[in-house]
Copies of this chain bind each other. A is one copy, B any other.
Amino acid sequence: MKHFTAGALNEYCRKVMEAKGIDPECAAAVADMLIDADLTGVSTHGVSRLSIYMERVEKGLVAKGNEIRVLKESPSALAIDGGNTLGAMSASFAMERCIEKARETGACFATVKNSNHFGAAAFYTKKAAAAGMIGFCCTNLTAKIAPFGSSEPFMGTDPVCVAVPSEGMPVVLDMAPSVVALGKLILAQKLGQSIPEGWALDKDGRPTTDPAEGRKGSLVPIGGPKGSGIAMIVELLAGVLSGAGTATHLHDLYEFDAPQGVGHFMGAIDISHFIDVDVFRSGVSATSAEVKGLKKATGFNEILMPGERELRFAAERAEKGLDIPDEVCDELAALGAPYGLELKEA
Interface residues of A (CB under 8 A from B): 72, 74-77, 79, 102, 104-109, 111, 134, 146-152, 154, 162, 164, 171, 173, 175, 177, 179, 201, 204-206, 222-223, 225-230, 232-233, 235-237, 239-243, 246, 248, 267, 269-271, 273-275, 279-280, 283-284, 287, 290-291, 294-298, 300, 302-306
B74–A295 touching, CB < 8 Å: no
Q: Are B205 and A248 in contact (CB under 8 A)?
A: no
Also in contact, A175 and B226, with CB within 8 A (given A147-B303, A150-B295, A291-B154): yes
Shortest beta-carbon distance, A97 to chain B, in Å?
13
Enumerate 7 A-B pairs (CB-CB under 8 Å) in ascending A order. Answer: A150-B295, A150-B303, A164-B237, A205-B296, A222-B222, A239-B287, A242-B275
- Among B77, B146, B151, point to the contact of A106 (Cβ < 8 A): B77
A151: which B residues are within 8 A, CB to CB? 294-298
Do the beta carbons of B297 and A246 come within 8 Å of each other?
A: no
Complex: A134 Cα to B239 Cα, angstroms:
14
The complex places the Cα of A64 from the Cα of B45 at a distance, in Å, of: 54
> Which of A74, A151, A175, A280 has most chain B Cβ within 10 Å?
A74
CA A279 to CA B239, docked complex, whole Å: 12
